[in-house]
Amino acid sequence: MIVLQVFFAFLKIGLFSFGGGYAMLPLIENEIELAHHWITHADFVDIIAIAQITPGPIAINAATFVGYHVAGLVGSVVATVAVVLGPIVLMVVVMRLARRFASSLLVQGALNGLRPALLALIAYSAVSVARTSLTGVSTIVLAAAAFALLMFTKLHPLLILLAAAVLGGLFLYH
């Protein structure tokens, strides 16, 4: 049954993704695009864009959208619950153990080892999205301008996203 497949796919994404939404993107991509073929890569990039401009964490927004796409309203609810269920359970367990082992050199070393791996996951996501998003000179210029604005100004990222959407709608695809 498709709803159970959606549940277990997003439960796995929630359980085995560390480092937040962007670090989850490679696992989300692998599960929904490559393993189950529920969406195309172009759809995956669109989901990321939509998840960015809607309130809430990117992984939850993506789960909700994909669940709806695959199995309607029930799929949407199931995917959303599944993607947060694992981390909630893990957080409760980790918080109970954290007090005991917070000063452990092994635990501190493991956390220090996770940070570069999380950076690699985020970089992988960026390269994956770039392959689909950067389709010509105009999209490269827009991406570079958005990056520069994020790095060197105090503009809110939402304003940059909205400006990019307007520019893309007005100039890039006509």
- Cα atoms in the Cβ-side hemisphere of radius 13 Å centred on 81: 10
Taking only the tens place, the pLDDT of each residue in 83-131 is: 999 888 888 887 787 777 778 888 788 888 888 988 888 888 888 888 8
Distances (CA, A) of 87 to 18, 19, 42, 102: 9, 11, 28, 19
- pLDDT-above-90 percentage for the chain: 34
Of the chain, the end-to-end C-alpha distance in Å amounts to: 42
Taking only the tens place, the pLDDT of each residue in 30-47 is: 899 889 999 998 888 888
pTM, full prediction: 0.63
Identity of the residue numbered 152: F
Nearest Cα to Cα of residue 21 among 47, 42, 43 = 47
Sequence spans of domains, the chain: 2-133, 135-174
For residues 45 and 43, what is the distance between their CA atoms, to the nearest angstrom? Answer: 5
- Cα atoms in the Cβ-side hemisphere of radius 13 Å centred on 149: 16
